[in-house]
Amino acid sequence: MERRAFRVNGFVVLLVLVVLAAVAAAVSIEVLGIVWVVIFVLVATGFTVVNPNEAKVVQFLGRYVGTVNDAGFQWVLPFTSKRRVTLRVRNFETTKLKVNDANGNPVEIAAVVVYKVIDTARAVFAVDDYEQYIAIQSEAAVRHLATVHPYDSHESDQTSLRDGTEVAGELTTELSERTELAGIEILEARITHLAYAPEIAQAMLVRQQADQIVAARTRIVEGAVGMVQLALDRLAAEHVVELDEERKAQMVSNLLVVLCGDRATQPVVNTGSLYA
């Protein structure tokens, strides 16, 4: 876990060294001057500069002693190594991956991931390279997401890869779980590229067009049946005309042809009696 390292303002320490140098020069004792040089060399190893939105992970003889995240000229324990870790918000885009969706169709998919480091100790010591770690985990999460959802779905209760908001939420949640041990916070993960693989793209386009035609025809038939039922109920309720079963069947057939046909119908005037 990250903890704060002991640090002092670097200018204060530098001022103390200047005062000691002035004292050594005033006393004019050679030994005191040598002691000051040794002290200066020892103390100088603790100086470090921390930039805004940056942290320095401090180690002393291989042991983690803390993190300095206060921007400016700082002084920490001498003989310590200081590793720079950026705290800025960063993003990268995965390569286009070719995977099979939930229906077994090969698709190309890519995503952009926005993240930042929130625990420098974990980012440095829990994994070898946190940047490479998040890149590999992102590709793994995108692959897993593509295998559990179909590219497209006409069922209202099934999430498809084209449902941007829901899929982005699932991807962000899964990535957050995968990268938590590395001290990384996932701010956003969203699909940036989604398409069928080139070898099946044309066939799937024809299939999509057929699905759309079937769905449209289904809606038309449902509406036509409702209109026919409404017409029969209104005729019976208002006693406009009495129809036997044969006439009802003929009327239903004619109405369905008119309502469901994709071409204009030619009216036929029947001058015969409605009663047998």
Say what the pLDDT of residue 154 is. 64
Say what the pLDDT of residue 190 is. 92
- Count of CB atoms situated within 10 Å of the CB of 215: 11
Q: CATH number of the domain at 90-196, out of 1.10.10.10, 3.40.50.720, 3.30.479.30, 1.20.1260.10? A: 3.30.479.30
> Mutual orientation of helices 130-148 and 164-179 as an angle, nearest 10°?
140
Q: Is 111 helix (H, G, I), strand (E, B) or coil?
A: strand
Structure-token match 């962000």, residue found: 172
Amino acid making up residue 184: I
Say what the pLDDT of residue 88 is. 93
pLDDT in tens, 213-257: 777 777 777 777 777 777 777 767 776 666 666 766 776 676 666
Residue 167: both structure tokens together? 């899929």
**Nearest C-alpha neighbor of 190 from the set 170, 173, 175, 168:** 168
Query: How many whole angstroms separate alpha carbon 103 and alpha carbon 146?
Result: 10
Residue 13 neighbours by CB under 8 Å, 6+ apart: 43, 46, 47, 75
Q: How many CA atoms lie within 13 A of 266 on its CB side?
A: 0
In tens digits, what is the pLDDT along the chain, a chain of 276 residues? 888 888 889 899 888 888 877 777 776 666 666 777 788 888 888 899 999 999 999 999 889 999 999 899 999 989 899 999 999 999 989 999 999 888 888 889 999 999 999 999 999 999 999 999 999 999 999 999 989 988 877 666 678 888 878 889 999 999 999 999 999 999 999 999 988 887 766 666 766 676 777 777 777 777 777 777 777 777 677 766 666 667 667 766 766 666 666 655 555 655 555 444
Say what the pLDDT of residue 276 is. 45
Q: Provide the Cα torsion 61, 64, 70, 73; round to 10°.
A: 0
For residue 49, which phi and psi values (nearest 5 degrees)?
A: -115, 125
Residue 172: both structure tokens together? 């962000």
Say what the pLDDT of residue 61 is. 87
- Count of CB atoms situated within 10 Å of the CB of 55: 25
Angle among Cα 251, 253, 258 to the nearest 5 degrees reads 95
Residue 147 neighbours by CB under 8 Å, 6+ apart: 99, 100, 101, 102
User: Would you list the domain boundaries of the chain?
Assistant: 8-83, 90-196, 201-260
Q: Is 48 helix (H, G, I), strand (E, B) or coil?
A: strand
